[in-house]
Amino acid sequence: MTEMAFGTVPVRAGEPVLPKWWRTIDKWALGSILILFGLGMLLGLAASVPLAERNGLEPFYYVKRQAVFGALSLGVMLAISMLDPRQIRRLGVAGFALAFVAVMLLPVLGTDFGKGAVRWYSFGVASIQPSEFLKPGFVIISAWFMAAADEVGGPPGRLYSFLLAVIIVVALALQPDFGQASLVLFAWSVMYFVAGAPIALLSAIGALTVAGGFFAYNFSEHFARRINGFLSTDVDPRTQIGYATNAIQEGGFFGVGVGQGSVKWSLPDAHTDFIIAVAAEEYGLILVLCIIALYATVVIRSLLRLMRERDPFTRLAGAGLACAFGVQAIINMGVAVRLLPAKGMTLPFVSYGGSSVIASGIAVGMLLALTRTRPQGQISDILARRGR
């Protein structure tokens, strides 16, 4: 309908796939992702060697695995970024169905690896955390429901997406995995806001979320322990938060020097949840600010492009993916500096972990695909040409 009213921008006939992809992709966002992956490999060289030594493995065992995971992730990301929105929707729905079934079967077939939360499937040489793959699929299917609700005679898509979000949040909270549950709820709230939800309704949902937090605090020992540790005025220097806080203070502006940090020898999760502490100690605040700037570049560039997008599904899905990506990074770094309670959440493309890195590649690949320059162009450009 919009094309009938405003016309279309001519498409370069017969243009090969790769030149077309390179011409339309957001190169700043793509470059930021590649730099983040490079920094993750650099920090992995420092953070994962002590872990390999403790486990009796060769020094660069985890670095090599991360390189394999990263290569697979980047390949998947680039391949997905070449798809169009319709193909992204189909891929997202299929991926969501598989991940949803996997999450539902975790209480029966999953394992906790001694961490007190059943979040993984163990396959001996590798493990998979299905909730990581659930997030991008959930964003896509929720955006599809919400966009369909605005069509004439469309289904009550907003209600369907909300019910789906509730089911997923409850399933994740029972693992327990409150970090992923909060991220799913946040992504849904962003999309619902972009879709035109009234502030009063979002405030009511926020109040219900707070009430759910009080309920979890009173009935979940895992949740209460983390909240109490966060609210405590004293930080035990022998805990992960204590080690991370001290490492960040020691690093200062310029760090103690490459390879000279000590926190990686004390923190069990120095290569995953607390890798930003390794960066802060060895390279200082300068590198941390650079990492923050890279995440901000991806999110802000994506949102600016989506503001000019005409397709409702593309706007909603892109906003959900971009904000979930940025907030996950904020949560990870916020935990390390004790601004947030411990959540067990990785830093996208930087932390070690096959599920995290590959799922991030899928999500960012979808985001890059949805923020590519569309053949029909921007409404303002079309109106300007028709007014000449």
Percent of the chain with pLDDT over 70: 88
| Residue 6 predicted with pLDDT over 50 | no
Q: Which of 34-43, 88-97, 199-208, 278-287 has the lowest mean pLDDT?
A: 199-208
pLDDT, position 381:
52
In three-state secondary structure terms, 127 is strand
Determine how many CB atoms are found less than 10 A away from the CB of residue 89.
21
CA–CA gap between residue 371 and residue 307 (Å, rounded) = 10
**5: Cβ contacts below 8 Å, ≥ 6 apart:** none
- Cα separation of 247 and 265, whole Å? 11
Cβ count within 10 A of residue 47? 29
- Above 60 in pLDDT, residue 384? no
E strand map for the chain: 121-122, 127-128
Selected residue with higher pLDDT from 330 and 208: 330
pLDDT higher at 8 or 320: 320
pLDDT at 243: 77
- Residue 90 vs residue 202, higher pLDDT: 90
- For 311, the token pair is 């397709």
Indicate whether 99 pLDDT > 80: yes
pLDDT of residue 293: 97
**127: β partners:** 122
Q: What is the pLDDT confidence band of residue 85, given thresholds at 50, 70 and 90?
A: very high
With bands split at pLDDT 50, 70 and 90, how would you rate the model's confidence at 3? Answer: very low
Higher pLDDT, 364 or 385: 364
Asked if pLDDT for residue 380 goes beyond 70, the answer is: no
- What is the predicted pLDDT for the residue at 388? 52
Q: What is the mean pLDDT of residues 321-326?
A: 95
Please report which confidence band the pLDDT of residue 138 belongs to, taking 50, 70 and 90 as the band edges. Answer: very high
Q: What is the pLDDT of residues 288-322, one digit of tens each?
A: 999 999 999 999 999 999 998 889 999 999 999 99
Angle subtended by helix axes 354-370 and 61-81, to nearest 10? 20
Average of per-residue pLDDT values in the chain: 84
Which of 53-67, 253-267, 348-362 is the least confident region? 253-267
| Dist CA 131 CA 105 (whole Å) | 12
pLDDT-derived band at 97, boundaries 50, 70, 90: very high
SS (HEC) of 171-232: HHHCCCCHHHHHHHHHHHHHHHHHCCCCHHHHHHHHHHHHHHHHHHHHHCHHHHHHHHHHHC
* Average pLDDT, integer, range 363-387: 72
Contacts 24+ apart (CB under 8 A), 345-348: 345/179, 345/180, 345/183, 345/273, 346/272, 346/273, 347/40, 347/273, 347/275, 347/276, 348/36, 348/295
Task: Write the pLDDT tens digit of every residue in 148-167.
Answer: 988 888 888 899 999 999 99
Instruction: Please state, for a pLDDT cut of 90, what percent of the chain lies above it.
Output: 42
**H-run or E-run covering 260:** none
The number of CA neighbours under 13 Å toward the Cβ of 133 is 24
